[in-house]
Protein backbone atom coordinates (compact mmCIF):
# COMPACT_ATOMS: atom_id res chain seq x y z
CA UNK A 1 0.00 0.00 0.00
CA UNK A 2 1.30 3.43 -0.87
CA UNK A 3 1.41 6.14 1.74
CA UNK A 4 1.67 9.87 1.82
CA UNK A 5 4.24 11.96 3.66
CA UNK A 6 2.91 12.66 7.12
CA UNK A 7 2.45 16.03 8.75
CA UNK A 8 4.75 14.82 11.54
CA UNK A 9 7.53 14.75 8.97
CA UNK A 10 6.42 18.11 7.51
CA UNK A 11 6.74 20.86 10.07
CA UNK A 12 5.32 21.05 13.55
CA UNK A 13 7.36 23.03 16.05
CA UNK A 14 9.13 22.20 19.25
CA UNK A 15 8.83 24.52 22.21
CA UNK A 16 11.82 25.47 24.34
CA UNK A 17 10.05 24.13 27.41
CA UNK A 18 9.60 20.74 25.74
CA UNK A 19 13.31 20.53 24.99
CA UNK A 20 14.15 21.34 28.58
CA UNK A 21 11.68 18.81 29.91
CA UNK A 22 12.84 16.08 27.57
CA UNK A 23 16.54 16.63 28.11
CA UNK A 24 16.90 17.64 31.72
CA UNK A 25 19.87 19.81 32.52
CA UNK A 26 22.39 18.52 29.99
CA UNK A 27 24.25 21.31 28.19
CA UNK A 28 22.26 23.88 30.18
CA UNK A 29 25.25 26.02 31.22
CA UNK A 30 24.74 28.57 28.45
CA UNK A 31 22.01 31.15 29.10
CA UNK A 32 18.98 31.39 26.81
CA UNK A 33 19.48 33.83 23.95
CA UNK A 34 17.68 37.12 23.41
CA UNK A 35 15.54 37.24 20.24
CA UNK A 36 15.25 40.99 20.21
CA UNK A 37 11.56 41.16 21.19
CA UNK A 38 8.89 39.06 22.92
CA UNK A 39 8.22 35.80 21.09
CA UNK A 40 4.59 36.73 20.46
CA UNK A 41 4.24 40.51 20.44
CA UNK A 42 0.54 41.41 20.80
CA UNK A 43 -0.83 42.73 17.52
CA UNK A 44 -3.35 45.51 18.06
CA UNK A 45 -3.29 47.40 14.75
CA UNK A 46 -2.88 46.40 11.10
CA UNK A 47 -3.06 48.83 8.19
CA UNK A 48 -6.33 48.32 6.31
CA UNK A 49 -8.01 46.42 9.13
CA UNK A 50 -9.61 49.13 11.24
CA UNK A 51 -13.27 48.06 11.15
CA UNK A 52 -13.81 46.05 14.34
CA UNK A 53 -17.33 45.04 13.26
CA UNK A 54 -16.52 44.26 9.62
CA UNK A 55 -17.37 40.58 10.07
CA UNK A 56 -19.44 40.76 13.26
CA UNK A 57 -21.83 37.83 13.48
CA UNK A 58 -19.80 35.70 11.06
CA UNK A 59 -17.91 32.53 11.99
CA UNK A 60 -14.85 31.25 10.13
CA UNK A 61 -13.71 27.64 10.58
CA UNK A 62 -9.96 27.11 10.15
CA UNK A 63 -8.23 23.73 9.92
CA UNK A 64 -4.81 23.52 11.59
CA UNK A 65 -2.45 20.68 12.47
CA UNK A 66 -1.79 21.21 16.18
CA UNK A 67 1.40 21.79 18.12
CA UNK A 68 3.49 24.92 18.45
CA UNK A 69 2.75 26.02 14.89
CA UNK A 70 -0.98 26.00 15.59
CA UNK A 71 -0.43 28.10 18.70
CA UNK A 72 1.77 30.47 16.72
CA UNK A 73 -0.83 30.86 13.96
CA UNK A 74 -3.55 31.44 16.53
CA UNK A 75 -1.52 34.10 18.34
CA UNK A 76 -0.17 35.86 15.26
CA UNK A 77 -3.04 35.53 12.81
CA UNK A 78 -6.37 34.22 14.03
CA UNK A 79 -6.78 36.00 17.37
CA UNK A 80 -5.82 39.45 15.98
CA UNK A 81 -8.05 38.92 12.93
CA UNK A 82 -10.98 38.18 15.21
CA UNK A 83 -10.25 41.20 17.39
CA UNK A 84 -9.82 43.60 14.47
CA UNK A 85 -12.74 42.44 12.30
CA UNK A 86 -15.31 40.98 14.71
CA UNK A 87 -15.27 37.53 13.11
CA UNK A 88 -15.49 34.49 15.36
CA UNK A 89 -12.66 32.13 14.37
CA UNK A 90 -13.01 28.48 15.33
CA UNK A 91 -10.08 26.07 14.99
CA UNK A 92 -10.71 22.54 13.74
CA UNK A 93 -8.31 19.64 13.37
CA UNK A 94 -7.18 19.64 9.75
CA UNK A 95 -7.77 16.39 7.89
CA UNK A 96 -7.44 16.18 4.11
CA UNK A 97 -9.62 13.08 3.75
CA UNK A 98 -12.35 14.50 5.96
CA UNK A 99 -12.25 17.74 4.00
CA UNK A 100 -12.66 15.94 0.68
CA UNK A 101 -15.52 13.83 2.03
CA UNK A 102 -17.30 16.80 3.58
CA UNK A 103 -17.07 18.73 0.31
CA UNK A 104 -18.41 15.76 -1.66
CA UNK A 105 -21.30 15.43 0.81
CA UNK A 106 -22.05 19.18 0.61
CA UNK A 107 -21.43 19.48 4.35
CA UNK A 108 -18.13 21.35 4.38
CA UNK A 109 -16.67 21.11 7.88
CA UNK A 110 -14.20 24.00 7.58
CA UNK A 111 -13.64 27.09 5.47
CA UNK A 112 -9.85 27.46 5.42
CA UNK A 113 -7.12 24.85 5.78
CA UNK A 114 -3.34 25.08 6.06
CA UNK A 115 -2.15 22.85 3.21
CA UNK A 116 1.40 21.60 2.74
CA UNK A 117 3.23 21.85 -0.56
CA UNK A 118 2.78 18.14 -1.37
CA UNK A 119 -1.02 18.46 -1.22
CA UNK A 120 -2.04 21.99 -2.15
CA UNK A 121 -2.27 21.21 -5.88
CA UNK A 122 -4.13 17.91 -5.68
CA UNK A 123 -6.60 19.29 -3.14
CA UNK A 124 -7.56 21.77 -5.84
CA UNK A 125 -7.57 19.27 -8.72
CA UNK A 126 -9.59 16.84 -6.61
CA UNK A 127 -12.24 19.44 -5.88
CA UNK A 128 -11.64 19.72 -2.13
CA UNK A 129 -10.49 23.34 -2.39
CA UNK A 130 -11.22 26.17 -4.79
CA UNK A 131 -9.11 28.34 -7.02
CA UNK A 132 -8.26 31.72 -5.52
CA UNK A 133 -8.30 34.97 -7.49
CA UNK A 134 -4.73 35.69 -8.64
CA UNK A 135 -5.08 39.29 -7.45
CA UNK A 136 -6.25 38.35 -3.94
CA UNK A 137 -2.80 39.41 -2.75
CA UNK A 138 -0.35 41.34 -4.92
CA UNK A 139 2.16 38.65 -5.97
CA UNK A 140 4.93 41.25 -6.09
CA UNK A 141 4.65 41.54 -2.31
CA UNK A 142 5.34 37.83 -1.91
CA UNK A 143 8.90 37.98 -3.13
CA UNK A 144 10.41 34.64 -4.16
CA UNK A 145 7.46 32.50 -2.98
CA UNK A 146 4.65 32.79 -5.54
CA UNK A 147 0.99 31.98 -4.95
CA UNK A 148 -0.54 28.91 -6.60
CA UNK A 149 -4.04 28.46 -7.93
CA UNK A 150 -5.16 26.52 -4.88
CA UNK A 151 -3.53 28.54 -2.14
CA UNK A 152 -1.62 31.53 -0.89
CA UNK A 153 1.71 30.96 0.89
CA UNK A 154 1.48 31.56 4.64
CA UNK A 155 5.00 30.83 5.94
CA UNK A 156 8.19 28.96 5.12
CA UNK A 157 10.33 26.56 7.10
CA UNK A 158 13.54 24.83 6.17
CA UNK A 159 15.39 21.57 6.68
CA UNK A 160 18.84 22.51 7.91
CA UNK A 161 21.96 20.80 9.11
CA UNK A 162 22.21 21.00 12.89
CA UNK A 163 25.52 20.15 14.52
CA UNK A 164 26.91 20.02 18.02
CA UNK A 165 29.53 22.70 18.57
CA UNK A 166 31.91 20.22 20.18
CA UNK A 167 32.27 18.60 16.76
CA UNK A 168 35.10 21.08 16.13
CA UNK A 169 36.09 24.71 16.10
CA UNK A 170 33.75 27.12 14.27
CA UNK A 171 36.02 26.90 11.24
CA UNK A 172 35.93 23.10 11.35
CA UNK A 173 32.13 22.75 11.44
CA UNK A 174 30.38 21.83 8.16
CA UNK A 175 29.24 24.68 5.93
CA UNK A 176 26.81 22.88 3.61
CA UNK A 177 25.24 19.47 2.98
CA UNK A 178 28.30 18.19 1.10
CA UNK A 179 30.50 18.81 4.13
CA UNK A 180 27.79 17.70 6.57
CA UNK A 181 27.64 14.37 4.71
CA UNK A 182 31.41 13.78 4.61
CA UNK A 183 31.88 10.58 6.63
CA UNK A 184 35.66 10.75 6.51
CA UNK A 185 35.69 14.26 7.94
CA UNK A 186 32.79 13.72 10.36
CA UNK A 187 32.52 10.02 11.29
CA UNK A 188 30.25 10.85 14.24
CA UNK A 189 26.69 9.46 14.44
CA UNK A 190 24.02 11.30 12.45
CA UNK A 191 20.25 11.59 12.35
CA UNK A 192 18.16 11.76 9.19
CA UNK A 193 14.38 11.85 8.58
CA UNK A 194 12.62 8.53 8.09
CA UNK A 195 10.80 10.31 5.28
CA UNK A 196 11.87 10.91 1.70
CA UNK A 197 11.26 14.68 1.53
CA UNK A 198 14.53 16.33 2.36
CA UNK A 199 16.42 13.09 2.85
CA UNK A 200 16.58 12.39 -0.88
CA UNK A 201 17.62 15.95 -1.68
CA UNK A 202 20.40 15.83 0.93
CA UNK A 203 21.70 12.56 -0.50
CA UNK A 204 21.80 13.94 -4.04
CA UNK A 205 23.54 17.15 -2.96
CA UNK A 206 26.07 15.03 -1.06
CA UNK A 207 26.58 12.97 -4.22
CA UNK A 208 27.52 16.04 -6.21
CA UNK A 209 24.24 16.98 -7.90
CA UNK A 210 24.11 20.72 -8.52
CA UNK A 211 21.39 22.51 -6.59
CA UNK A 212 19.80 23.82 -9.80
CA UNK A 213 19.62 20.27 -11.18
CA UNK A 214 18.05 18.52 -8.21
CA UNK A 215 14.62 18.06 -9.81
CA UNK A 216 13.34 15.74 -11.00
CA UNK A 217 14.90 13.74 -8.18
CA UNK A 218 16.91 10.68 -9.19
CA UNK A 219 15.46 8.46 -6.49
CA UNK A 220 17.63 5.41 -7.12
CA UNK A 221 20.81 7.49 -7.13
CA UNK A 222 19.76 9.07 -3.85
CA UNK A 223 19.03 5.71 -2.22
CA UNK A 224 22.37 4.33 -3.40
CA UNK A 225 24.09 7.29 -1.75
CA UNK A 226 22.09 6.79 1.45
CA UNK A 227 23.41 3.24 1.71
CA UNK A 228 26.69 4.77 2.86
CA UNK A 229 24.95 6.39 5.85
CA UNK A 230 22.94 3.46 7.23
CA UNK A 231 25.61 2.56 9.79
CA UNK A 232 26.20 6.19 10.78
CA UNK A 233 22.49 6.83 11.34
CA UNK A 234 21.83 3.48 13.03
CA UNK A 235 18.62 3.80 15.06
CA UNK A 236 18.43 7.57 14.68
CA UNK A 237 15.97 7.88 11.81
CA UNK A 238 13.50 10.44 13.10
CA UNK A 239 9.76 10.56 12.52
CA UNK A 240 9.19 13.81 14.37
CA UNK A 241 11.84 16.53 14.24
CA UNK A 242 11.97 16.92 18.02
CA UNK A 243 13.64 13.49 18.16
CA UNK A 244 16.63 14.73 16.15
CA UNK A 245 17.13 17.76 18.41
CA UNK A 246 16.79 15.71 21.59
CA UNK A 247 19.37 13.23 20.29
CA UNK A 248 21.74 16.12 19.59
CA UNK A 249 21.31 17.47 23.11
CA UNK A 250 21.74 14.04 24.64
CA UNK A 251 24.92 13.54 22.54
CA UNK A 252 23.46 10.44 20.90
CA UNK A 253 24.31 12.07 17.56
CA UNK A 254 26.58 14.96 16.57
CA UNK A 255 24.88 15.93 13.31
CA UNK A 256 21.22 15.99 12.33
CA UNK A 257 19.05 17.09 9.47
CA UNK A 258 16.01 18.72 11.04
CA UNK A 259 13.57 21.58 10.67
CA UNK A 260 15.06 24.98 11.41
CA UNK A 261 12.44 25.97 14.00
CA UNK A 262 13.19 22.91 16.08
CA UNK A 263 16.93 23.58 16.03
CA UNK A 264 16.27 27.26 16.77
CA UNK A 265 14.25 26.34 19.85
CA UNK A 266 17.29 24.48 21.17
CA UNK A 267 19.62 27.38 20.34
CA UNK A 268 17.30 29.81 22.14
CA UNK A 269 17.42 27.48 25.14
CA UNK A 270 21.20 27.88 25.22
CA UNK A 271 22.05 24.43 23.84
CA UNK A 272 25.45 24.05 22.09
CA UNK A 273 24.06 23.61 18.60
CA UNK A 274 24.90 25.41 15.37
CA UNK A 275 22.67 25.64 12.31
CA UNK A 276 24.01 25.15 8.77
CA UNK A 277 21.94 27.38 6.50
CA UNK A 278 23.73 26.85 3.21
CA UNK A 279 21.42 24.90 0.82
CA UNK A 280 18.64 24.77 3.43
CA UNK A 281 15.71 22.91 1.88
CA UNK A 282 12.83 25.35 2.15
CA UNK A 283 9.19 24.27 2.35
CA UNK A 284 6.07 26.46 2.15
CA UNK A 285 2.66 25.88 3.70
CA UNK A 286 -0.38 27.50 2.10
CA UNK A 287 -3.78 28.83 3.09
CA UNK A 288 -6.45 27.13 0.96
CA UNK A 289 -10.21 27.68 0.92
CA UNK A 290 -12.60 24.74 0.97
CA UNK A 291 -14.74 24.26 -2.11
CA UNK A 292 -18.29 25.21 -1.23
CA UNK A 293 -17.36 27.27 1.80
CA UNK A 294 -20.21 29.68 2.61
CA UNK A 295 -17.65 32.13 3.98
CA UNK A 296 -15.46 32.84 0.97
CA UNK A 297 -15.58 36.59 1.64
CA UNK A 298 -14.36 36.23 5.23
CA UNK A 299 -11.81 33.59 4.24
CA UNK A 300 -10.40 35.87 1.54
CA UNK A 301 -10.10 38.70 4.06
CA UNK A 302 -8.27 36.40 6.48
CA UNK A 303 -5.75 35.55 3.75
CA UNK A 304 -5.18 39.22 2.97
CA UNK A 305 -4.75 39.88 6.69
CA UNK A 306 -2.31 36.99 7.14
CA UNK A 307 -0.10 38.36 4.37
CA UNK A 308 0.27 41.87 5.73
CA UNK A 309 3.74 42.93 6.82
CA UNK A 310 2.63 43.30 10.44
CA UNK A 311 1.07 39.84 10.76
CA UNK A 312 3.90 38.11 8.96
CA UNK A 313 6.43 39.71 11.30
CA UNK A 314 4.59 38.51 14.40
CA UNK A 315 4.39 35.01 12.92
CA UNK A 316 8.17 35.13 12.63
CA UNK A 317 8.35 35.63 16.40
CA UNK A 318 5.43 33.49 17.55
CA UNK A 319 6.49 30.28 15.81
CA UNK A 320 9.97 30.98 14.37
CA UNK A 321 8.51 30.63 10.87
CA UNK A 322 9.85 32.45 7.84
CA UNK A 323 7.73 35.34 6.54
CA UNK A 324 6.80 35.01 2.88
CA UNK A 325 6.35 38.79 2.61
CA UNK A 326 9.78 40.46 2.51
CA UNK A 327 8.34 43.68 3.93
CA UNK A 328 7.75 41.88 7.22
CA UNK A 329 11.45 42.06 7.99
CA UNK A 330 11.13 45.81 8.53
CA UNK A 331 9.35 44.91 11.77
CA UNK A 332 11.72 42.16 12.95
CA UNK A 333 14.83 42.82 15.00
CA UNK A 334 18.02 41.85 13.09
CA UNK A 335 19.04 39.28 15.73
CA UNK A 336 15.73 37.47 15.23
CA UNK A 337 15.58 37.97 11.46
CA UNK A 338 18.79 35.96 11.04
CA UNK A 339 17.09 32.96 12.66
CA UNK A 340 14.41 32.79 9.96
CA UNK A 341 14.91 30.96 6.66
CA UNK A 342 13.52 33.74 4.47
CA UNK A 343 15.86 36.39 5.89
CA UNK A 344 16.53 38.48 2.74
CA UNK A 345 20.31 38.23 2.99
CA UNK A 346 20.01 34.44 3.04
CA UNK A 347 17.82 34.11 -0.04
CA UNK A 348 20.62 32.82 -2.28
CA UNK A 349 21.51 30.12 0.27
CA UNK A 350 18.10 28.45 0.10
CA UNK A 351 16.79 25.68 -2.11
CA UNK A 352 13.03 25.88 -2.60
CA UNK A 353 11.61 22.35 -2.48
CA UNK A 354 9.82 21.64 -5.77
CA UNK A 355 6.09 21.72 -5.02
CA UNK A 356 4.99 20.37 -8.39
CA UNK A 357 7.41 17.42 -8.35
CA UNK A 358 6.51 16.35 -4.84
CA UNK A 359 2.81 16.81 -5.46
CA UNK A 360 2.97 14.42 -8.42
CA UNK A 361 5.46 11.91 -7.00
CA UNK A 362 4.52 11.97 -3.29
CA UNK A 363 2.94 8.55 -2.90
CA UNK A 364 5.22 6.59 -5.24
CA UNK A 365 8.31 8.13 -3.65
CA UNK A 366 7.12 7.43 -0.11
CA UNK A 367 6.41 3.82 -1.03
CA UNK A 368 9.85 3.33 -2.61
CA UNK A 369 11.59 5.02 0.32
CA UNK A 370 9.75 2.84 2.86
CA UNK A 371 10.74 -0.24 0.89
CA UNK A 372 14.36 0.88 1.00
CA UNK A 373 14.19 1.51 4.76
CA UNK A 374 12.72 -1.94 5.43
CA UNK A 375 15.42 -3.70 3.43
CA UNK A 376 18.00 -1.88 5.55
CA UNK A 377 16.39 -3.04 8.77
CA UNK A 378 14.70 0.25 9.65
CA UNK A 379 11.13 0.07 10.92
CA UNK A 380 8.61 2.21 9.01
CA UNK A 381 5.59 3.97 10.45
Tens digits of residue pLDDT in 189-211: 999 999 999 999 999 999 999 99
218 and 310 both lie in a single domain: no
Lowest mean pLDDT among 5-14, 153-162, 204-213, 297-306: 5-14
User: What is this structure's pTM?
Assistant: 0.90
Query: Would 15 be classed as within a structural domain?
Result: no
Alpha carbon distance 261, 244 (integer Å): 12
229 and 80 both lie in a single domain: no
163 and 275 both lie in a single domain: yes
* Residue 18: C-alpha distances to residues 2, 23, 24, 256, 266 (Å): 33, 8, 10, 18, 10
Mean pLDDT score, 275-295: 97
Query: Would 6 be classed as within a structural domain?
Result: no
Tens digits of residue pLDDT in 364-373: 999 999 999 9
The whole domain housing 86 covers: 59-156+283-348
- DSSP characters over 79-110: HHHHHHH--EEEEEE--HHHHHHHHHTT----
Contact 254, 18 (CB under 8 A): no
User: Mean pLDDT for the chain?
Assistant: 90
Tens digits of residue pLDDT in 334-370: 999 999 999 999 989 999 999 999 999 999 999 999 9
Percent of the chain with pLDDT over 90: 81
178 and 68 both lie in a single domain: no
71 and 124 both lie in a single domain: yes
pLDDT value at residue 42: 59
**What domain count does the chain have?**
2
370 and 242 both lie in a single domain: yes
Query: Would 289 be classed as within a structural domain?
Result: yes
* Most confident range, picked from 67-76, 142-151, 213-222, 239-248: 213-222
Residue 134 pLDDT grade (very low, low, confident, very high; cuts 50, 70, 90): confident
pLDDT value at residue 45: 84
Tens digits of residue pLDDT in 220-242: 999 999 999 999 999 999 998 79
Contact 143, 324 (CB under 8 A): yes
Please calculate the CA angle 86-40-243 and round it to the nearest 5 degrees.
120
Query: Would 16 be classed as within a structural domain?
Result: no
Mean pLDDT score, 252-276: 96
Query: Would 111 be classed as within a structural domain?
Result: yes
pLDDT value at residue 40: 45
Query: Would 29 be classed as within a structural domain?
Result: no
Query: Would 321 be classed as within a structural domain?
Result: yes
DSSP tally for the chain: helices H, then strands E: 15, 9
Amino acid sequence: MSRSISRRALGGALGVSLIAAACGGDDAAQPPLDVGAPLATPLTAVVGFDEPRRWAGRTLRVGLWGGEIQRGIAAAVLDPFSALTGAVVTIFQADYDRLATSVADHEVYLDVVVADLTRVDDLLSGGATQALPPDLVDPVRLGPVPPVSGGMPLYAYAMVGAVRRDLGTPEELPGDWVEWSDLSRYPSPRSLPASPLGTLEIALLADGVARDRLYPLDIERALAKLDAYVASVGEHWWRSGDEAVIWLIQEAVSLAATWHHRATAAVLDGRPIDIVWRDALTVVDYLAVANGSPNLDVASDLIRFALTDEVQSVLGYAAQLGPVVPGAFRHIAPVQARRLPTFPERRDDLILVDRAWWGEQREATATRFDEWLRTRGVATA
